[in-house]
Structure 1
Amino acid sequence: MLESVHNEQVKFVASLQRRKVREETRLYVIEGRRFVEDAVLRNAPIEKVYLNLKREQTGWQSLLAELKKRNIPFAEADERVLRKMSATEEPQGILAVVRQIKHTWADVHIDRGSVLLILDGIQDPGNLGTILRTALAAGVRHVCLTSGTVDVYNPKVLRSTMGALFSLVLLTGVSPADVMLFCQEQGLRVFTGDTEGQLLYRTDFSKGPVALVVGNEGNGPSVTFRNADVQRVTVPMAREVESLNVAIAAGILLYETVRQRDFL
């Protein structure tokens, strides 16, 4: 039982709430029973689980049995220790340290039905997490995050994904120029959200592999995408509305694309 907040193991897990440490160690923390169970079931590379068995007895045994079956280390920790390691004021009694998976372009397999989602400079953690969750729900599995996008392992992003990142191929920190080069080499038609583009419902997404670019909340897509040979698409809005939340706009764009392609 871990009972001291001064324990080196406890302090290390707590340090993973900082982006710099996550980047150096290639580790991150997930919290909550549902999140941890999802990680176990989807074979996420879990390093260790920390839980308070006194917090909730019902159902713990089945989770412990699964951890033992998969040879995942776990340790009991009291409430003070969990609070020290957690990013929330009221931890849910369980958290886990998970190793980041580093995907490369070689993991992005393009065929005629592929939809590649490109998130360019998204800053709000809640927006990013919601977009990733929506992408998975829409059947999109490959996502590129350009440099300047909020850290996908930020605790707020993780909570918003609801475990979606365990089923996605995520390329992080890529440059817009590299994205465009990949799209050109693979023959993807590139569409980007733009307030002055062609109306979404008059745009044909049905033919061949496509890439969808969703830009920064305030500035839209970066210069590289604005200057490239891409098709600009706008979501129609009533005159009283200036703009949509980027996560909502991304969801509309994703679902219209997959609707035309009969993915669902």
Structure 2
Amino acid sequence: MLENPRSPRVRAVAKLSKRSARVETGLFLLEGPQAVREALRYVPGAIVELYATPTAWERHADIRQLVAEHEVPFDYVTEDVLDAMADTVTPQGLIAVARQTPTAVKDIFAASPRLIAICEEVRDPGNLGTIIRAADAAGADAVVLTGRTVDPYNPKVVRSTTGSLFHLPISVGGDLADVVSRAHAAGLQVLAADVGGGDLLSARADNTLVKPTAWLFGNEARGLEADARGLADQALKLPIYGQAESLNLATAASVCLYESAFAQRAEH
């Protein structure tokens, strides 16, 4: 059992809450039973090591079974050690260290996707995590991150995805113009979600949303820059029927992705 919160091993795990350490090592943190469980189910080979308090280990029989099945390295830790490793204030007894497994953007478009999300300059970890989760729920084929979008392996992003990070391909660090070009070459239209765009209901009525689509989402505060918006085939906005000033980015993205999912599934 690891008992010293100041040991080099514990400190190395704790450093993964910082981007510099994640870039240097290619590793990231998974906290809590949900994230650990989904990683064990979908990418068990990516898990480098797993740490658990005895209480948490006894509580999660399904995780014990998956760890044994995939022969994942495991150690008991004290509550103090887990607290020192964790990014959260109240960790839930389980932490894993995993390898980052991004997908090359060329491989995403080579797979003939019908629905993807492109995130350009999305900076809030909670928003990005929720968009990844919504894309997963809507049956999207991938999420592509461009520009200075927040690191998908940021602990807050990982928690916000509630495991969806491991369910669909995620591409990072792409150039938006290159990604849009690849989307067009793969037969996808690119629709920008933008407050200055046309009415989403009209696009629904004329069957625009039935086509294979890459939705383009911009920064929370500024939206899409003019040059980024100009790369899209069309810009669309969600109507606001009440008195709300605007919609949260992740909420708007969820609606857009589901509108396309509904239209495509009704057609096919």
Q: Provide TM-score, normalisation by structure 2.
A: 0.91
Task: Report the Cα distance in structure 2 between the residues aligned to 1:194 and 1:173, rounded to whole angstroms.
Answer: 22
Q: Is 1:259 paired with 2:237?
A: no
Structure 1 position 239, deviation (Å): 6.3
Counterpart secondary structure, 1:233: strand
Report deviation, 1:127.
Answer: 0.9
Over 3 Å counting, the alpha-carbon distance change for 1:20 and 1:223 in structure 2 is: farther
Q: 1:113: Cα distance to partner? A: 6.2
AA partner of residue 22 (structure 1):
R
Specify the alignment match of 1:49 in structure 2.
Answer: 50
Q: Contact (CA 8 Å) 2:118, 2:215: kept in 1 or not?
A: yes
Aligned-pair CA distance for 1:183 = 1.9
TM-score (norm 1): 0.93
Report the AA paired with residue 60 of structure 2: G
1:19 aligned partner: 19
State the distance in 1 between where 2:106 and 2:127 align: 27
User: Following the alignment from structure 1 to structure 2, what is the Cα–Cα distance between the partners of residues 134 and 38?
Assistant: 16
| 1:261–1:81 CA distance, 2 compared to 1 (3 A) | same
Query: In the TM superposition, what is the alpha-carbon distance from 1:198 to its structure 2 partner?
Result: 1.3
Amino acid at match of 2:254: G
- Which residues of 2 match residues 198-213 of structure 1 at below 5 A? 198-203=198-203, 204-213=207-216
Write out per-residue CA displacement over residues 51-110 of structure 1, whole angstroms, 9 at most, x where no aligned residue: 1113563334x4333212211100011011100000012211110001001311232145
**8 Å contact from structure 2 (residues 196, 236) kept in 1:** yes
Q: Cα–Cα, structure 1 residues 195 and 50, in superposed 2: closer, same or farther, change >3 Å?
A: same
Q: Which amino acid aligns with 1:29?
A: L
Q: 1:227 matched to which residue of 2?
A: 230
In the aligned structure 1, how far is the partner of 2:60 from the partner of 2:112? 44
Give, in whole Å, the separation in 2 of the partners of 1:28 and 1:69: 22
Call closer, same or farther: CA 1:206–1:200 in 2, change over 3 Å.
Answer: closer
Separation of aligned partners in 1, 2:146 and 2:25:
21
Distance 1:191 1:94, change over 3 A: same
1:199 Cα offset (Å): 0.6
Match of 1:115 in 2: 115
* SS of the residue 1:108 aligns to: helix
Q: 1:223: Cα distance to partner?
A: 3.6
* RMSD of aligned Cα (Å): 1.9
Aligned residues: 263
The range that moved more, 219-228 or 40-49, is 219-228
- Alpha-carbon deviations, 1:26-58, whole Å to 9, x = none? 100111122211211113410000011135633
SS in structure 1 of the partner of residue 54 of structure 2: coil
Alpha-carbon displacement from aligned partner over 1:101-158 (angstroms, at most 9, x marks no partner): 1311232145776112101111111111111101100000211111211111111111
Give the equivalent residue in structure 1 for 2:240: 237
Matched residue, 2:32: 32
Give the corresponding residue for 1:77. 77
Match among 216, 228, 246 for residue 249 of structure 2:
246
Identity %: 36
1:101–1:55 distance in 2 versus 1, CA, 3 Å: closer
Distance between the aligned counterparts of 2:232 and 2:250, measured in 1? 24
Moved more, 86-95 or 110-119: 110-119
Cα 1:134–1:125 change in 2 (3 A) is same
CA distance in 2: counterparts of 1:239 and 1:51, whole angstroms? 47
User: Secondary structure of the equivalent of 1:57?
Assistant: helix
* Paired residues of 1:192 and 1:212 also in contact (CA < 8 A): yes
Q: Give the gaps of 5 or more residues in structure 1.
A: none
Is contact 2:125-2:156 (8 Å) kept? yes
Contact kept, 8 Å, 1:135 with 1:254, in 2: the verdict is yes
In the TM superposition, residue 207 of structure 1 has moved relative to its aligned partner by: 4.5
Higher share of residues assigned helix: 2
Judged with a 3 Å threshold, the aligned counterparts in structure 2 of structure 1 residues 55 and 189 are, in CA distance, closer, same or farther, namely closer
